[in-house]
Amino acid sequence: MPLLLSIVTPTFNEVDNIEKLSLKIREICNLKNVNYEQIIIDNDSNDGTIEVIKKLTSKYKNIKAIINQSNFGHIKSPYHGLLQSQGDAVIFMTSDFQSPPELIIDYYNKWISGSKVVLGRRRKVSDVYFLKIIKFFYYNFINKISNQKMEKNITGEGLYDRSVINILKTIKDPYPYIRGLIFELGFKIDFIDFDQPSRQRGISKNNLYTLFDMGLVGVVKHSNVLLRLMIIFGFFLSIVSLFIAICFFFYKILFWDNFQLGLAPILIGFFGLTSIQIMIIGLIGEYISTVLSYLKNLPLVIEKERINF
């Protein structure tokens, strides 16, 4: 039997892009004589995307669709789509054309030559300057505290061999951060560099909150260094506090008549320490929340409808 390539394209309100992308994928694969299936997994769009998807699936039987019951987020839904694929290799690609569809053949050729994981790596990104700075410091920070080095400017988009997908199926992660998880598996990873074009149609679904969410997930899931730093920091603060208390005690005894302590330094110290404590409690809460999500053992998504499977 000929090799089958699965191409997973998640959508949420991509009415302006999904049909054009699907036809472009069809054109590229037919031109190169690649046997493929496309899996569109939709996060309960409300802009007409679902109607376009159903039109595509009725016309092309190798285009399959999963319609989610509700919006399960930009991390869980694409991952679920990857696990539903049947191909000998699976390509994950967003539906907004910010990963050029022409990369499909580059991924495919790398796979044919023996690569198990091939990820797209952006040379040039269309982010605003402020986000570029944040991402630069984030990647450097997480690589300092993590046991596994994470490559910069990747999103998890790329090609995964069937053997890799089979391993991912055995991992019961309720919030799978694939761009970090794939580095933990230990496979040799090849990269294809490309310039990310600006989005031409629709609006980006990423904002500061979603970027912060992904960044925090990356830190919590792939490092326990911060927890240990909290212990060290807490111990250091307790020693400093004890030392200051002893100094004030003896100062008060020796210079009782001239002892004065304004309210300002007390308030500054109080609010400073309180803000640090709140931050630490919040971070601990993120770790606890991650543990609870494992205990719930909920499915990644709940499907409303499947088409052409």
Q: What's the CA gap between 277 and 272, in Å, rounded?
A: 9
CATH code of the domain occupying 5-205+298-307: 3.90.550.10
Whole-prediction pTM value? 0.77
H or E stretch covering 189: strand 189-195
Tokens standing for residue 151: 């490559």
* Phi, psi (degrees; rounded to nearest 5) at 156: 95, -10
- Output the CA angle 17-19-21, nearest 5 degrees: 65
Nearest residue to 9 via CA among 34, 48, 46, 36 = 36
Whether the per-residue pLDDT at 86 is higher than 90: the answer is yes
Q: Which residues face 67 on adjacent strands? A: 42, 305
Q: Supply the pLDDT for residue 17.
A: 94
Which of the listed ranges 12-26, 134-148, 184-198 does the model predict with the highest average pLDDT? Answer: 12-26
- What angle in degrees, to the nearest 10, is found between the helix axes of 162-170 and 73-83? 120
pLDDT, tens digit, 9 for 90 and up, residues 201-243: 655 556 566 666 666 666 666 666 666 666 677 667 667 766 7
217 CB-side CA count, 13 A: 19
Whether the per-residue pLDDT at 115 is higher than 60: the answer is yes
Q: Supply the pLDDT for residue 263.
A: 58
* Phi, psi (degrees; rounded to nearest 5) at 197: -75, 160
Nearest residue to 138 via CA among 55, 213, 74, 196 = 213
Q: What's the CA gap between 82 and 67, in Å, rounded?
A: 14
Q: Supply the pLDDT for residue 287.
A: 72
Which amino acid, 78?
Answer: P
Cα 148 to chain center, whole Å? 16
pLDDT, tens digit, 9 for 90 and up, residues 25-83: 999 999 999 999 999 999 999 999 999 999 999 999 999 999 999 999 888 999 999 99
Q: Which residues face 10 on adjacent strands? A: 41
Nearest residue to 11 via CA among 205, 174, 162, 156 = 205
- What angle in degrees, to the nearest 10, is found between the helix axes of 73-83 and 208-222? 60
- Choose the weakest-confidence range: 23-37, 97-111, 195-209: 195-209
Confidence label for 297 from pLDDT (cuts 50, 70 and 90) = confident
Q: What's the CA gap between 88 and 7, in Å, rounded?
A: 11
Q: In 235-274, which positions are buried (b, 16+ CB within 10 angstroms) versus exposed (e)? A: eeeeeeeeeeeeeeeeeeeeeeeeeeeeeeeeeeeeeeee
